Amino acid sequence: AVYRLAQQKITSLITLGTPHTSPTSALVDQTRGLLREIAASPSCSSQTLTNAGIAITCVSSSSLSAKLFTTDLEQIIAATSYLPLVGRLDNVKGDGIVPTDLAFMESPARRVEIEKCSDTGGAVRHAHVLPTPWNLLDGEAASWKLPEDIVWYGSPGVLGQWLEYVC
């Protein structure tokens, strides 16, 4: 019943920095098989959703590259996120958490790759908050807010790069 109601009411799906595939080259399947199950379900394919009248837009940043041997903390964090997910670091970019290699569904889903904030020219990151250890104990616990100059998918200068696809 919920599935049928959703198909009747939903006209657009926009994902922001969301992994959509779990490659066989991954060192660890961080979704514990969830992405593989979704990929195996014909009802979850971008073609099936498009045929049902749901426009799909996948948005991902390609602002941050990964390096293990650097003094740049963001590149180290990106490396520790990207390496388990894709099994390599060469020529891998993303939003610091999700590499672009995994962030897009197959066609006919729309692909919006954001290189930088159009207002500041700065990197676009996965989020403007950090989860905290107590989020594991209490899902309602507040996350740590990052400094105001941290740019993410919801920041001015980034919203305009994907907001037009909200139907």
Query: pLDDT, tens digit, for every residue of 25-79?
Result: 777 777 777 878 888 888 888 999 999 899 999 999 999 999 999 999 889 989 9
Number of Cβ atoms within 10 Å of the Cβ of 144: 9
Closest CA to 54 of 92, 99, 7: 7
Closest CA to 10 of 167, 116, 122, 115: 167
In 62-137, the DSSP E strands lie at 64-65, 93-94, 110-114, 129-130
For position 55, what pLDDT does the model report?
Answer: 94
Maximal C-alpha separation, the chain: 53
Q: Which pair of structure tokens corresponds to residue 23? A: 């490659």
39's enclosing H/E stretch is helix 34-40
Query: pLDDT, tens digit, for every residue of 134-153?
Result: 667 777 877 788 888 899 99
Q: Do residues 76 and 69 make contact, with C-beta atoms less than 8 angstroms apart? A: no
Query: pLDDT, tens digit, for every residue of 6-19?
Result: 778 889 999 999 98
Closest CA to 164 of 95, 103, 107, 112: 112
For the chain, first and last CA: distance in Å? 23
- Output the CA–CA distances (angstroms, integers) from residue 96 to 12, 34, 60, 99, in the order listed: 26, 21, 11, 7
16's enclosing H/E stretch is strand 12-16
Radius of gyration of the chain (CA): 17
| Full-model pTM | 0.87
